[in-house]
Amino acid sequence: MAPAWEKLSDEWAGKGDALIAEVDCTTEGKPLCDANGVRGFPSLKYGDPAALEDYQGGRDYDALNAFAQENLKPMCSPSNLDLCDDDKKAEIKTLMEMPADDLAAKIASEEKKLEEAEETFKAEVQKLQENYQKLMEEKDQKIATVKSSGLGLMKSVQATQKVASKDEL
């Protein structure tokens, strides 16, 4: 994916308000990555810098470029109200008039929901992993039991019988 990303970045350099960049989340970029919910590498994010979204599309140049052409443009936001429909303008107005502490509490409440969803996901994946491990052990034990019951010897005798019957003809 790196060559595709570098080509895309070169093509978009200096193009309007769009920025295609990379951050090393293992060094100086770690705080930025943590603040934006980066959990795996490579992670691709797009959108308003204050509310980045996860990119879920293809990772080759054509898919990245098509996405960039369609999505990397000014979007409805408090700084681009002229791009908003009436419903979004009303929603932004309501949020802008909200006391800072209330807005912070509302954001914290929504972020808590995201954290809870992530915790639930991790717990359920752990349960699946444990069940998978148990099933693998049971399967391996059954295979060992079947093999130790003489299956190999039975197959050997069967093969010998087939050869013997051909010799008799």
The answer to the question of residue 41 being in a domain is: yes
Determine what percent of the chain is predicted with pLDDT higher than 90.
Answer: 43
Domain count, the chain: 2
Residue with tokens 């060992």: 144
Instruction: Tell the residue number behind the tokens 């959990």, with chain if given.
Output: 39
Task: Inform me whether the pLDDT recorded for 7 exceeds 80.
Answer: yes
pLDDT tens digits for range 29-81: 888 888 888 888 888 888 777 778 888 888 888 998 898 888 877 778 898 89
Same domain, yes or no: 166 and 102:
yes
Residue 89 in any domain: the answer is no
Count other C-beta atoms under 10 Å from residue 75's C-beta.
14
Identify the three-state secondary structure at position 18. Answer: coil
Considering the domain architecture, whether residues 71 and 6 belong to the same structural domain is answered as yes
120 and 61 assigned to the same domain? no
Residue 6 has pLDDT above 90, yes or no: no
Structural domain that includes position 126: 98-169
Between CA 134 and CA 141, with CA 135 as vertex, the angle to 5 degrees is: 90
The pLDDT value recorded for residue 169 is 61
Q: Are residues 8 and 41 in the same domain?
A: yes
Nearest to 68 by CA among 15, 118, 31: 15
